[in-house]
Amino acid sequence: MASIELRNITKIFRDAKRKRDLLAIDNVSLSVEKNEFLCLLGSSGCGKSTLLNMIAGFEKPTEGSVTVGGKAVDGPGADRGMVFQQANLMPWLPVWENVAFHLRLKGWRKADRRDAAQDYIDMVGLRGFENHFPAELSGGMSQRVGIARALLLNPQVILMDEPFAALDAQTKMDMQEELVAIWQKQRCTVVFVTHSVDEALVLGTRVAVMTSRPGRIRELIALDLPRPRDTTGPRFNDHKRHILNLIREEGLQQRQAAVA
């Protein structure tokens, strides 16, 4: 049974102010198997976040249906952990309270929450920053708190919206390795949004290349490359060339459409 099933999803944003409707997602169907690591690849504004938000339950599709684990999605829930494009940490809580926020909601005692948070704080390399407040963290550090917070939910599905976009090359590589290790260990399903071809190829078991607005799935590419991925190997580069060509064609069509 598929873990996530998108059936004929269309999303139209009604723009009341400008009296204009925006077709953000156009008839997307996609199914993600259990334990799959799917990378959604597309240019800025093509609807990646919108698609992810519909799986998370923050947005409702205008048409079509979303099911996760066989159940129709009708709102957000702790079975789907999300790492947001902006970290979205509670600014009034220190790092460890942010990581353990879910346990606070479940009514755990403070000492237990603190213990449970520590593993995840260590996992994302923030030991020593437990008592810092979000205003005292760098962008990349905040993002890592957001990742720890989603992992602590121990969800079946993790949704990640360009979580590493703000990180430097070194930290990004470390975090990517860490993420793959966690995914292999926890046997969860990951949907990972990115606009970096390399990142998609390093992480994914499959890559969904999206078209620019309105968002559609242009091509689904299965990656059977061994891990850890060799970013200089010929097969990696074959995939990369192929995807870059798709993107180039896409850009060309866009410009022609704009001229016509």
Partner 1 sequence: MNMTGQGIRAMTALSKSWERAVVPLFILAAWEVFSRSGFLPAALLPAPSVVLHTWGDWIFGFDETSQGNTGRWLADALSSATRVAAGYGIAVVSGVALGIAIGWWRWVERTVEPTLQMLRPVPPVSWIPLAIIWFGIANKPAIFLVFLGAFFPILMNTIHGVKTADRNLIRAASMMGATEQQLLRHVVFPAALPSIFAGLRIGIGAAWMLTVTAEMVAVKSGLGYVLWDSYYFLRYDLVLAAMASIGLLGYATDALIKVLMSAALHWQHGSTLQSREG
Ligand X SMILES: Nc1ncnc2c1ncn2[C@@H]1O[C@H](COP(=O)(O)OP(=O)(O)OP(=O)(O)O)[C@@H](O)[C@H]1O
Residues that bind partner 1 (CB under 8 A): 56, 58, 75-78, 80-82, 84, 86, 88-94, 101-102, 104-106, 133, 135-136, 149-150, 153
Nearer to partner 1, 41 or 99 (CB): 99
Residue 135 binds which of ligand X, partner 1, Mg ion, none (CB < 5-8 A, kind-dependent) = partner 1
How much of the chain is in helix, strand and coil states, percent to nearest 5?
40, 25, 35
For helices 110-123 and 139-152, what crossing angle results, to 10°?
120
- Residue 164 binds which entry of Mg ion, partner 1, ligand X, none, CB below 5-8 Å type-dependent: none
Place of tokens 């896409």: 250
CB 6 within 8 A of CB 69: no
Nearer to partner 1 by Cβ, of 53 and 211: the residue is 53
Residue 13 or 133 having the CB closest to partner 1: 133
DSSP H helical ranges for 88-233: 95-99, 101-105, 110-123, 139-152, 169-186, 197-203
Chain residues that interact with ligand X, rule: CB under 6 A: 13, 22, 24, 42, 44-50, 85, 195, 213
Q: Which two tokens stand for residue 96?
A: 């460890």
Site track for Mg ion across 31-50, x = CB under 5 A: ------------------x-
CA distance 46 to 254: 12
- Closest approach of Cβ 7 to partner 1, in Å? 23
C-beta of 156 vs 211, nearer to ligand X: 211
